[in-house]
């Protein structure tokens, strides 16, 4: 392993916010300071890098934030960083301050940015998977997923009470544009009869068939959890079709939306964010560069960022089988 000693590090949160990002920032700052590094907070992700919105952080800068959702460093989407000229500005700002290591807490888009940035400039980057969607290859957990899925479960449980009381069909849309993990986990945990996700072709014929059978038994209670990125087009499209096919049924839609992003992180998210943040700094000190710090089988795993953005996690067929069997 090479390499120049890392002495000053920057930390930023980028892309979609996720509960637990603050816990990760706290862990990075405090671990860095423990090792005698200077730690800089960068506001609004890559935007703040480009605009030089960077400030020195102390241990007390991250006091009382472990339990807070959102991110004290704010986050943003930054089109300028997609261009080399933008990334050059970002590099110049780091260079000017002598920052020679970067921790990026974000989703796969932010990781793509890190891959690009570290390939063009001499700045080691460590990624921490901060995304409610859990759509990052090579880790069992991403920061924010557990909180989001528990928020969804809590909301669906409440909806199930009224669904049951009125014998209704409910279609609940949860977040997940490209990945169905929130739908799958929350759907299994709430006993959903159907779970529709982007990773599997949606078979509406089958859904309609099972609803017709239930209708015959005069017990048309049915919970359908659909990921927003499902190939059939989300909850509203599913409702349109079902209303046509089952005109007597009361079919309601609830789109959970941004509620899934906010709120205090669960214990699990605080724990994994703390572990990942600690190990991100260790990576920089050990010269393990341009990786993301994930957790597999409860052990830290370091996967090259380049590999992470090229691969996708796979939904287990066994889980899909469990959904079918338990709903019957």
Nearer to ligand ADP, 47 or 202 (CB): 47
Task: Select the residue whose beta carbon is closest to ligand ADP and give its number.
Answer: 109
User: Based on C-alpha coordinates, what's the Rg of the chain?
Assistant: 22
Q: Identify the H or E element spanning 322.
A: helix 317-327
Nearer to ligand ADP, 136 or 246 (CB): 136
User: Is the separation of the CB atoms in 222 and 170 below 8 Å?
Assistant: yes
Nearer to ligand ADP, 108 or 269 (CB): 108
In whole angstroms, what is the distance from residue 12 CA to residue 168 CA? 45
Give the rounded distance of the alpha carbon of 328 from its chain centre.
Answer: 31
Q: Helices 84-97 and 108-120: crossing angle, nearest 10°? A: 70
In angstroms, the Cα distances linking 254 to 167, 189, 193, 236, 273 are 16, 18, 16, 9, 30
Give residues in contact with ligand ADP (CB under 6 A).
14-16, 46, 77-78, 81-82, 106-110, 112-113, 116, 131
Cβ 207 to ligand ADP shortest distance, Å = 30
Which candidate in 108, 133, 230, 269 is catalytic? 133
For 170, counting Cβ atoms within 10 Å of its Cβ (0-12 exposed, 13-18 middle, 19+ buried), the class is: buried
Cβ 200 to ligand ADP shortest distance, Å = 22
Nearer to ligand ADP, 12 or 253 (CB): 12
DSSP string, 147-207: HHHHHHHHHHHHHHHHHHHHT-EEEEEES-SS--HHHHHHHHHTT-SEEE-TTS---HHHH
Nearer to ligand ADP, 40 or 81 (CB): 81
Is position 133 annotated as part of the catalytic site? yes
In whole angstroms, what is the distance from residue 36 CA to residue 310 CA? 35
Residues annotated as catalytic are 133
């Amino acid at each position: 392993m090479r390499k120049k000693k890392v002495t000053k590090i920057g930390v930023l949160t980028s892309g979609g916010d996720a509960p637990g990002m603050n816990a990760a920032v706290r862990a990075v700052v405090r671990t860095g300071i423990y090792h005698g590094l200077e730690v800089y907070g960068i506001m609004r992700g890559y935007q703040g890098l480009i605009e030089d919105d960077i400030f020195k952080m102390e241990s007390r800068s991250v006091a009382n934030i472990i339990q807070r959702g959102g991110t004290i460093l704010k986050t943003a989407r930054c089109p300028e960083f997609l261009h080399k000229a933008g990334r050059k500005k970002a590099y110049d700002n780091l260079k000017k301050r002598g920052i020679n290591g970067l921790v990026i807490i974000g989703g796969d888009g932010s990781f793509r940015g890190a891959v690009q940035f570290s390939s063009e400039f001499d700045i080691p980057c460590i990624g921490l998977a901060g995304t409610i969607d859990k759509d990052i290859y090579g880790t069992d957990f991403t920061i924010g997923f557990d909180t989001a899925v528990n928020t969804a479960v809590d909301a669906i449980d409440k909806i199930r009470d009224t669904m049951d009381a009125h014998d209704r069909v409910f279609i609940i849309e949860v977040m997940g544009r490209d990945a169905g993990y929130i739908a799958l986990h929350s759907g299994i945990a709430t006993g959903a009869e159907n779970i529709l996700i982007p990773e599997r072709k949606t078979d509406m014929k089958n859904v309609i068939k099972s609803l017709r059978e239930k209708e015959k038994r005069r017990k048309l209670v049915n919970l359908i959890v659909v990921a927003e990125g499902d190939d059939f087009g989300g909850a509203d499209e599913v409702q349109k079709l079902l209303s046509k096919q089952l005109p007597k049924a009361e079919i309601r839609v609830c789109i959970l939306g941004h509620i899934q992003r906010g709120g205090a992180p669960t214990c699990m998210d605080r724990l994994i964010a703390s572990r990942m943040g600690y190990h991100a700094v260790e990576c920089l000190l050990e010269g393990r560069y341009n990786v993301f710090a994930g957790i597999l089988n409860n052990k830290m795993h370091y996967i090259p960022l380049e590999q992470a953005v090229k691969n996708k996690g796979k939904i287990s067929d066994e889980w899909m089988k469990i959904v079918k069997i338990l709903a019957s």
